[in-house]
Structure 1
Amino acid sequence: MRELVVLGTGSQVPTRTRNHNGYLLRWDGEGLLFDPGEGTQRQMLFAGVAASSITRICLSHFHGDHCLGVPGVVQRLSLDGVRHPVVAHYPASGAEYFARLRHASVFHETAELVESPVAEPGVIAQGPFGQLVARRLSHPVESFGYQLVEPDSRRMLPERLAELGVRGPAVGRLQREGSIEVDGRRVELPEASEPRRGQRFAFVMDTRLCDGVFELADRADLLVIESTFLSADAALATEYGHLTAAQAGRVAAECGVRKLVLSHFSQRYAEPEAFRAEAGEFFGGEIVVASDISRVPVPARRPEPSTAG
């Protein structure tokens, strides 16, 4: 399962319809919780998300709407008896703040929370999911965005496998070893498979336009990006270190994004569809104006272009 569970979509001030931030990315066996703002634990209940779903917590920065939910989430891990380690990534410059959030009140800590502060941009974790990459953003406080990159692989072709006589356990051996011998003939992996591009997810919050934004969004299948302001307030966006919906649309268009998810809306705007309209002036792909307690599937893999002459 690969989907984004949207827990909150507000910015500095929550509203009656928008909680502070919170986003859980389900990615096969991983559950990455991004920027849990105040109230995230309750939003998880509404969304049907168990604490045991979380394997990583990723904070972009230490403004309250992006981190005040950490105490409740951390304590819930122990209350629910989560048995697997949960890794916490956050800007290393905010280690003092994370310590305060982690131990904000008295509780019996039994869950294993492994802190992995981000000091420099680059690959910060690797696993079966691929690579988790952090890039520096442009905000009044140190902020990082995150990108999940699945490695490219190959998709096995059942018809070709049958033609080549590759069956049963031999299929796994061919995938692992790259070539095997079948009935006295050497079968190479490219003969029975086709390229499969790895999928990409990007999370970009609280930033002006900068190189990091474009690096994170590059070829993303699903891009979650802040669009705090509309273009009429572009000067405010720049002053306070934010993006407009139009800028988010431009990023998606220039970076080859497949599905664009707009979020982190200022409470000053009453009509969410205005964000879609502005982003759509630049980006012709699918646009989701995020709402609380919604689910956004990661797009299905697109077919590789044919190499036939």
Structure 2
Amino acid sequence: MKPLIHPRLVNDPFGDPGLYVELLFEHRALLFDLGDIRALAPRQLLRVSDVFVSHTHMDHFIGFDHLLRILLGRERNVRLYGPRGFIAQVEHHLGGYTWNLVGNYTGELAFEVTEILDSTTARRARFACRSGFRRAADAELELSGGMLLAEDAIEVSCTLLDHGTPSLAFRLAETSHLNVWKDRLQALGLPTGGWLRDLKAAVRAGAPPETPITIRWHEAGVPREVRHTLGWLHDTLLREAPGQTLVYVADCAATDANAGRIVALARSADWLCIECTFLEEDRDHAARKFHLTAADAGRLAREAGVKRIIPFHFSPKYEARPEALEAELYAAFLGAAEG
């Protein structure tokens, strides 16, 4: 089965934090953190529907203006999520520019910005291009289980960590993995196409099995049409398996409270993207900076039972020996299993 979730670091592990996650078959992408994102092509940034910002230190948020530049003048609605104070910070960025000509744009760019106040409460505001990005539609929201985004195919939840300032960690979960039996599709003479995406969406939404599905296509220039029920198509064409999960943990201190929240969020995840900023030999310095060591990251990954680790946010002091960070990370990750 082809996975829905395809993650890749925006920069190398010494560069600004950022994780680009392409959602296969969805024709869209998610972005975790907004550091320097110039390595992403405009076509990739134009796929971004949601941006999840851990906190707004410069190396995690300086890319907002670049994203704005790429999207400006296009018909887009992008959702942004961040910690307490995030709405005002987005507002200040937008307020730093003059918008007297935006009424001429044919495309309406809008940002829907959500800030997480605590484990149960959030606030949301909207900034639309044609109004000069004036803040509007302020509303307070209730959070259930830290859930930020709940769709047919994916869910994104968060937990609050301490980095000397609130820092968010995120969990992206595929609700279920649906794959098409291509040989059966061909045997039935049915085409690929958007109808398969609609079929999967109907299955995930829990539509009744008797729901009619009409499939239309052209074959040698001749229009074709067949009708089947959702239940028959599901049983005949689709394979269903548990969805994949990815957890993103950026800057945070090595405290017991943070560790408990990270392990709970990352339990049995397929990927854990986690900061590995310092070596154990510099643990005191890591504590002063509110960062994890590579060994901390490995131990948390082991305790959570994750399958794969994507390490990032290496301190530049180790540029001559990145292998030391990776060795320490994987020694801690594999240590208990070998012992």
Query: Quick check: 1:111 aligned with 2:109?
Result: yes
Match of 1:135 among 131, 147, 159: 159
- Match of residue 276 from structure 2: 227
* Matched AA of 1:43: A
Query: Quick check: 1:6 aligned with 2:9?
Result: yes
Distance 1:190 1:54, change over 3 A: closer
Query: Quick check: 1:68 aligned with 2:62?
Result: yes
Contact 2:298 2:333 in 1 (8 A): yes
Kindly state the Cα deviation for residue 223 of structure 1 after the two structures are TM-superposed: 1.2
C-alpha separation between the residues in 2 aligned to 1:268 and 1:200?
A: 32
C-alpha separation between the residues in 1 aligned to 2:241 and 2:48?
A: 27
Kindly state the Cα deviation for residue 274 of structure 1 after the two structures are TM-superposed: 1.2
C-alpha separation between the residues in 2 aligned to 1:112 and 1:245?
A: 39
Distance 1:102 1:127, change over 3 A: farther
- Match of residue 226 from structure 2: none
Q: How does 1:273-292 map to 2 (within 5 A)?
A: 273-284=323-334
Kindly state the Cα deviation for residue 221 of structure 1 after the two structures are TM-superposed: 0.9
Kindly state the Cα deviation for residue 282 of structure 1 after the two structures are TM-superposed: 2.4
Give RMSD over aligned pairs: 3.4
C-alpha separation between the residues in 1 aligned to 2:17 and 2:65?
A: 15
Contact 2:84 2:166 in 1 (8 A): no
* CA shift digits 1:224-259 (9 cap, x unpaired): 110111111112212221111111111111112111
C-alpha separation between the residues in 2 aligned to 1:202 and 1:153?
A: 17
Distance 1:193 1:23, change over 3 A: closer
Kindly state the Cα deviation for residue 273 of structure 1 after the two structures are TM-superposed: 1.3
- Match of residue 169 from structure 2: 145
What's the secondary structure of 2:317's corresponding residue? Answer: coil
C-alpha separation between the residues in 1 aligned to 2:9 and 2:175?
A: 25
- Match of residue 18 from structure 2: 22
Structure 1 or 2, whichever has the larger Rg, is 2
C-alpha separation between the residues in 1 aligned to 2:239 and 2:44?
A: 37
Kindly state the Cα deviation for residue 195 of structure 1 after the two structures are TM-superposed: 6.0
Query: Quick check: 1:102 aligned with 2:94?
Result: yes
* CA shift digits 1:143-196 (9 cap, x unpaired): 11111122246778899x99xxx9989xx699556767xxxxx99x89998761
C-alpha separation between the residues in 2 aligned to 1:271 and 1:105?
A: 42
Distance 1:251 1:49, change over 3 A: farther
- Number of equivalent positions: 262
Q: How does 1:178-257 map to 2 (within 5 A)?
A: 196-209=241-254, 210=258, 211-257=260-306
Contact 1:9 1:265 in 2 (8 A): no
* Matched AA of 1:202: V
- Match of residue 140 from structure 2: none
Distance 1:167 1:219, change over 3 A: farther
Structure 1 stretches lacking a partner, 5+ long: 11-17, 181-185, 286-309
- Match of residue 305 from structure 1: none
- Match of residue 34 from structure 2: 36
Contact 1:71 1:103 in 2 (8 A): no
Contact 1:234 1:244 in 2 (8 A): yes
Contact 1:93 1:142 in 2 (8 A): no
Bigger strand fraction: 2
Distance 1:49 1:213, change over 3 A: farther
C-alpha separation between the residues in 2 aligned to 1:155 and 1:7?
A: 28
Taking structure 2 as the reference length, the TM-score comes to: 0.66
Distance 1:54 1:231, change over 3 A: same
C-alpha separation between the residues in 2 aligned to 1:64 and 1:276?
A: 25
Percentage of matched positions with identical amino acids: 24
C-alpha separation between the residues in 1 aligned to 2:284 and 2:244?
A: 35
C-alpha separation between the residues in 1 aligned to 2:98 and 2:15?
A: 25
* Matched AA of 2:51: I
Distance 1:212 1:31, change over 3 A: same
Structure 2 stretches lacking a partner, 5+ long: 103-107, 120-145, 211-230
Kindly state the Cα deviation for residue 281 of structure 1 after the two structures are TM-superposed: 0.8
Relative contact order, higher structure (CA 8 A, sep 6+):
1
C-alpha separation between the residues in 1 aligned to 2:92 and 2:297?
A: 33
Kindly state the Cα deviation for residue 140 of structure 1 after the two structures are TM-superposed: 0.6
